């Protein structure tokens, strides 16, 4: 079965003016056709939405009506590359042999994962390494090659040149966007849009930019709601732009399991970084999400996980920094960083949210472990999911840029949470962490339910190790990362790739026969960067989306 990042609301009628998405659609199409790459304006800047000029086709033989024309946006890629403060792959100064050997081991793991995917599953979304075949799944609406797109930037950064060219060739020759199926807006955005944008910014290859623009256009009908809050599911094949009200055109709906037709905080809150790049191509932003979130009252200052895209009100009061909520908070602080610290609205939302989280959700166990509980209508559930373990890195990243008197406090909090997540690994037989762990009935940092014992090659713990290393240079984070490498090699590496395991507490675990695409996009990338110098994908120049795809910090405006 597919396991979406946030666990995958009865469908509601679609009744919003389609004007803004339609205008953006037209401009994205134009931008995708012009030879030059996209222009970028300052992330976080708010531009006026242009009036909805209706375009009519001239009668056959008649001259086209005169209308104001604007030069297409163009992006000066060479100027952008010169603006980076560090070489993308770093300067590679002298380093100790052990660190280099460990990095080379992780590079070998990436090559092994890619080679087996290429041999047995190229063009499918993910590799099934035990049965040596491909898996398509139902999250991507008929799109193929999720592992290819997710792996592009990792292959590039690791200097696996031949493998990168193989992936690029597949995108050029075989990546078909003319598909018909139900897709997760969130997963397509973070994996495909994020992966293509990152590959473009790293290499300047036009094919990645044009594919990102074309696919971005197909996601726009999800925003056709009264509030502008998108629904979670979009049919990529129903794109009749003449009538967005048609029941068979660009249909979107909410997840069937989501409460009362609601949208999911982690899903609609994890679009800003990627859509900023797409929106700027047209000068016509489509997203209205922050305006709604600033208006609606937050219980105790917290953001619940379910919001109605029709009314803009919370549907129920379940708050989680793990699944359903996680990357919303991450994208607030990263939006501010990507704007070169100009998007003050995002920073204030992040600061206020973190203050409420610390006040109501951060707890310390009897054994001294700091964790972030979940909140259900005022009642705390003392569990923490693997997905929530990204928060150590997020808080450390935010701490680097907070008021001096609070900086050390947040660095300490980040270190404590990261240590708790490390304990969830250290206390298992495999030295890999469970999907969720609890702090109740005398248990600390361990799964107490059979349904929470699995590990599916998730990256969040090593993600926090990477950020904590870069921001503190405490050698324990590299040591902890190396322990993960050894555990992956011992328990997850099989003859034809890497597989998740069903029980981290079993001394001889059984495999789930799935090499997740995010293992190549995130887990191996973060481990590799942990053993790189800080100037490789420097945090001065790049912000990672929630699939670990690097998007550039906007140091200046690159309109040609």
Measured from the Cβ of residue 248, the count of other Cβ atoms closer than 10 Å reads 10
Which element (helix H / strand E) includes 461?
helix 460-472
Which element (helix H / strand E) includes 484?
helix 476-487
Which residues have a catalytic role annotated? 187, 326, 435, 460
For 147-216, give the DSSP string.
HHHHHHHHHHHTT-HHHHHHHHHHHHHH------SEEEHHHIIIIIIHHHHHHHHHH--HHHHHHHHHHH
- Residues annotated as binding site for Ca(2+)? 546
Q: Give dist(CA 298, CA 359) in Å, integer.
A: 14
Phi/psi of residue 127, nearest 5 degrees: -90, 135
Cα atoms found within 13 Å of the Cα of residue 355, Cβ hemisphere only? 11
Asked if 515 and 499 count as a contact pair (C-beta separation under 8 A), the reply is: yes
- Residues annotated as binding site? 546
DSSP, collapsed to helix, strand or coil, labels residue 493 as strand
Sequence-ordered alpha helix ranges (H) in 249-387: 265-268, 272-282, 289-295, 326-338, 344-360
Question: Residues near 27 by Cβ (< 8 Å), separated by ≥ 6?
Answer: 281, 282, 283, 284
Cα–Cα distances in Å, from 505 out to 180, 387, 443, 501? 41, 19, 14, 10
Q: Give dist(CA 60, CA 73) in Å, integer.
A: 30
Q: Give dist(CA 63, CA 61) in Å, integer.
A: 7
Cα–Cα distances in Å, from 249 out to 180, 241, 329, 368? 11, 7, 32, 55
Q: Give dist(CA 180, CA 237) in Å, integer.
A: 4
Q: Give dist(CA 321, CA 371) in Å, integer.
A: 11
Q: Give dist(CA 217, CA 152) in Å, integer.
A: 22
- Bridge partner residues of 380 (DSSP): 375
Closest C-alpha among 453, 452, 472 to residue 464: 472
Instruction: Extract the tokens encoding 485.
Output: 């490498």
Sequence-ordered alpha helix ranges (H) in 206-343: 206-219, 265-268, 272-282, 289-295, 326-338
Instruction: Extract the tokens encoding 5.
Output: 């990042």
Closest C-alpha among 549, 463, 454 to residue 492: 454
Q: Give dist(CA 394, CA 469) in Å, integer.
A: 13
The dihedral through the CA atoms of 250, 5, 335, 551 has a sign that is negative
Instruction: Extract the tokens encoding 130.
Output: 């035990």
Distance of CA 114 to the CA centre of its chain: 21
């Amino acid at each position: 079965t597919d396991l979406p990042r946030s666990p995958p609301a009865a469908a509601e009628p679609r009744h919003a003016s389609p004007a803004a998405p339609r205008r953006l659609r037209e401009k994205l199409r134009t931008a995708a056709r012009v030879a030059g790459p996209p222009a970028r304006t300052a992330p976080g800047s708010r531009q006026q939405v242009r009036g909805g000029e209706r375009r009519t086709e001239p009668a056959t033989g008649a001259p086209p009506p005169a209308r104001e024309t604007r030069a297409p946006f163009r992006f000066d890629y060479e100027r952008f590359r010169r603006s980076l403060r560090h070489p993308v792959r770093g300067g590679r100064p002298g380093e100790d042999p052990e660190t280099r050997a460990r990095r080379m081991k992780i590079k070998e793991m990436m090559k092994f994962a890619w080679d087996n995917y290429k041999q047995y599953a190229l063009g499918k979304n993910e590799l099934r390494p035990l049965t040596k075949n491909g898996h398509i799944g139902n999250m991507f609406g008929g799109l193929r090659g999720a592992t290819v797109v997710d792996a592009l930037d990792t292959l590039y950064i690791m200097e696996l040149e031949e493998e990168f060219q193989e992936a690029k060739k597949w995108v050029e020759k075989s990546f078909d966007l003319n598909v018909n199926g139900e897709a997760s807006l969130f997963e397509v955005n973070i994996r495909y849009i994020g992966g293509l944008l990152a590959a473009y910014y790293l290499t300047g290859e036009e094919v990645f930019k044009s594919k990102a623009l074309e696919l971005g256009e197909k996601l726009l009908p999800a925003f056709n709601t009264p509030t502008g809050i998108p629904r979670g599911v979009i049919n990529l094949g129903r794109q009749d732009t003449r009538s967005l009200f048609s029941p068979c055109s660009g249909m979107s709906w909410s997840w069937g399991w989501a409460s009362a037709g609601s949208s999911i905080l982690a899903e609609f809150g994890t679009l800003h970084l990627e859509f900023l790049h797409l929106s700027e191509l047209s000068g016509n932003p489509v997203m209205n999400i922050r305006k709604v979130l600033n208006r609606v009252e937050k219980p105790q200052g917290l953001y619940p996980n379910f919001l109605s895209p029709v009314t803009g009100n919370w549907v129920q009061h379940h708050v989680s920094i793990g699944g359903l909520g996680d990357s919303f908070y991450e994208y607030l602080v990263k939006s501010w960083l990507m704007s070169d610290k100009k998007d003050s609205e995002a920073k204030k939302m992040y600061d206020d949210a973190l203050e409420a989280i610390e006040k109501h959700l951060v707890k310390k166990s009897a054994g001294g472990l700091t964790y972030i509980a979940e909140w259900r209508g005022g009642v705390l559930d003392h569990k923490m999911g693997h997905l929530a373990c990204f928060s150590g890195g997020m808080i450390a990243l935010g701490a680097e840029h907070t008021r001096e008197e609070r900086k050390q406090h947040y660095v300490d909090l980040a270190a404590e949470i990261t240590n708790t997540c490390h304990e969830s690994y250290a206390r298992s037989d495999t030295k890999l962490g469970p999907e969720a762990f609890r702090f109740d009935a005398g248990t600390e940092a361990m799964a107490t339910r059979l349904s929470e014992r699995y590990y599916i090659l998730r990256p969040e713990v090593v993600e926090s190790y990477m950020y904590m290393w870069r921001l503190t240079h405490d050698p324990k984070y590299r040591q902890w990362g190396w322990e993960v490498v050894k555990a992956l090699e011992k328990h997850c590496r099989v003859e034809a790739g890497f597989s998740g395991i069903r029980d981290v507490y079993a001394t001889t675990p059984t495999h789930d026969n799935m090499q997740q695409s995010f293992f190549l996009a995130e887990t191996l990338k973060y481990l590799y960067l942990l053993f790189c110098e800080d100037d490789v994908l420097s945090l001065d120049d790049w912000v990672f989306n929630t699939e670990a795809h690097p998007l550039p910090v906007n140091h200046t405006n690159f309109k040609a």
